[in-house]
Amino acid sequence: MSIAGKNLRINGERLWDSLMDMAAIGPGVAGGNNRQTVTDEDAEGRALFQKWCEAAGCTMGLDQMGNMFATRPGTDATALPVYVGSHLDTQPTGGKYDGILGVLGGLELIRTLNDLDIKTKHPIVVTNFTNEEGTRFAPAMLSSGVFAGLHTQDWAYARTDAEGKTFGDELKRIGWRGDEETGARKMHAFFELHIEQGPILEAENKEIGVVTHGQGLSWTQITVIGKDSHTGSTPMPMRKNAGLAMSRILEKVDEIAWSHAPHAVGAAGHIDVYPNSRNVIPGKVVFTVDFRSPSLDVILDMETRLRAEATKIADDMGMEIAFEKVGGFDPVSFDETCVAAVRNAAESLGYSHMNLISGAGHDACWVNRVAPTAMVMCPCVDGLSHNEAEEISPQWAAAGADVLLHAVLETAQVVG
């Protein structure tokens, strides 16, 4: 245990106040948030975060993907920094804590060290990764993916939203495209605090999830071409109903996921129907199948069966079909030393805890490719997330941030 000792805790009230202040930016329609990536609301949230970081004595760096890096100096300027952070962008019907807890929990760590004038050998950097959600611009974790070398920056800049706007143009338009080369920064370690976004911790009555692994993700975008025609006057035998083909394919998605119970999951959250008119048979549908599993073999099996089953359905119905892999990453094993630092922190602070596999994807899943990485999770009410009703307790938020603080202090080495 560092000099910090068991009594060193973050200021839970201050953290909660900051979460609520950030939640006021880009409000949703049902109590959550709609602060989608590289929108004006995102820009406003970034400005508030920067103001807070500078008030806490940090200097802000900004790379060409808009990733923000607030640095608190260490006593050894040559030591690689310990990074913490997550994302400030939200789903269109997002919650107040998904991503935001990790960024503001990192800021609260800095504020607490300042309060007590605790110095660390390694600098500490609080990070906001751009476009973690991948909703407006697929794929998810776009900028941490460029940072970790999984995507080229040009490819990322060219990603388009439903209105045909490009990510690069929108990042520039909101004024948050920096000069730093993306990925040039080297990390001693990276820790991400995040809500679980699932029901396990609450059901097991545990305050902390020690995340040992993250399940893998696969996004396949499917386009089915039928023929739009009148819903009233087109005889049933003459129809080429792309919507019907999609529904049969989605039945197969569910069947494939269930065939790998209990861990695999599958669904389509993105569905565009054309022309989406009440009295026109859909001539075209575009939808994205999201498969996940802790096992890469299972993911590959689900992808293969999806293509075979969907192709058969389209052929039998006389329709064209196309597939495009628009996102994905293999299952992740986090760094054992960093995971142990998280577990040690939970134990020494007396928080109930358990090992956990992350069901959701996170920036940490990509950063893990380039630096020793681990995650700290806290429960969320009913495991609900990606829903405006997402909720956590101030106690859970504080416990997560306390564990983040102590895991970082163990890694950044307290001086004096």
Measured from the CB atom, the residue of 338 and 364 that comes closer to ligand HGY is: 364
Residue 196 binding ligand HGY, by CB under 6 A: no
Smallest separation (angstroms) from Mn ion to the CB of 339: 19
Q: Tell how far CA 21 is from the center of its chain.
A: 21
Q: Tell me the backbone φ, ψ of residue 313, rounded to 5 degrees.
A: -60, -45
Smallest separation (angstroms) from ligand HGY to the CB of 335: 20
Rounded to whole angstroms, how far apart are CA atoms 330 and 30? 34
Pick from Mn ion, ligand HGY, none: which does 45 bind, CB < 5 to 8 A by kind?
none
Measured from the CB atom, the residue of 132 and 192 that comes closer to ligand HGY is: 132
Pick from ligand HGY, Mn ion, none: which does 99 bind, CB < 5 to 8 A by kind?
Mn ion
**In 158-263, where does DSSP find H-type helix?**
167-173, 200-203, 242-258
Asked if 374 and 408 touch (Cβ cutoff 8 Å), the reply is no
Measured from the CB atom, the residue of 134 and 145 that comes closer to ligand HGY is: 134
Pick from Mn ion, ligand HGY, none: which does 361 bind, CB < 5 to 8 A by kind?
ligand HGY
Q: Binding string to ligand HGY for residues 146 to 175, with x set by CB under 6 A, is what?
A: ------------------------------
Among 211, 360, 367, 408, binds ligand HGY (CB under 6 A): 360
Pick from ligand HGY, Mn ion, none: which does 140 bind, CB < 5 to 8 A by kind?
ligand HGY
Burial of 27 (0-12, 13-18, 19+ CB in 10 A): middle
Which span (5-13, 127-135, 200-208, 408-416) binds ligand HGY, by CB under 6 A? 127-135
Asked if 268 and 287 touch (Cβ cutoff 8 Å), the reply is yes
Verify cis geometry, omega within 30 degrees of 0, for the bond prior to 262: yes
Residue 361 binding ligand HGY, by CB under 6 A: yes
Residue 249 binding ligand HGY, by CB under 6 A: no
Residue 331 binding ligand HGY, by CB under 6 A: no
Burial of 236 (0-12, 13-18, 19+ CB in 10 A): exposed
Burial of 233 (0-12, 13-18, 19+ CB in 10 A): exposed
Asked if 190 and 102 touch (Cβ cutoff 8 Å), the reply is no
Residue 132 binding ligand HGY, by CB under 6 A: yes
Asked if 242 and 283 touch (Cβ cutoff 8 Å), the reply is yes
Smallest separation (angstroms) from ligand HGY to the CB of 197: 7
Which span (129-137, 150-158, 313-321, 343-351) binds ligand HGY, by CB under 6 A? 129-137
Smallest separation (angstroms) from Mn ion to the CB of 95: 8
Binding stretches for Mn ion (CB under 5 A): 98-99
Measured from the CB atom, the residue of 95 and 282 that comes closer to Mn ion is: 95
Distance set, CA 166 to CA 68, 155, 293 (Å):
20, 10, 31
Measured from the CB atom, the residue of 319 and 380 that comes closer to Mn ion is: 380
Asked if 337 and 212 touch (Cβ cutoff 8 Å), the reply is no
Smallest separation (angstroms) from ligand HGY to the CB of 140: 4
Measured from the CB atom, the residue of 140 and 150 that comes closer to ligand HGY is: 140
Pick from Mn ion, ligand HGY, none: which does 32 bind, CB < 5 to 8 A by kind?
none
Dihedral sign for Cα 194, 200, 205, 209, please. Answer: negative
DSSP β-bridge partners for residue 120: 414
Smallest separation (angstroms) from ligand HGY to the CB of 87: 8
Measured from the CB atom, the residue of 361 and 372 that comes closer to ligand HGY is: 361
Rounded to whole angstroms, how far apart are CA atoms 104 and 394? 13
Short-list 386, 381, 323, CA closest to 132? 386
Residue 140 binding ligand HGY, by CB under 6 A: yes
In the complex, the residues that contact ligand HGY under the rule CB under 6 A are: 132-134, 140, 360-361
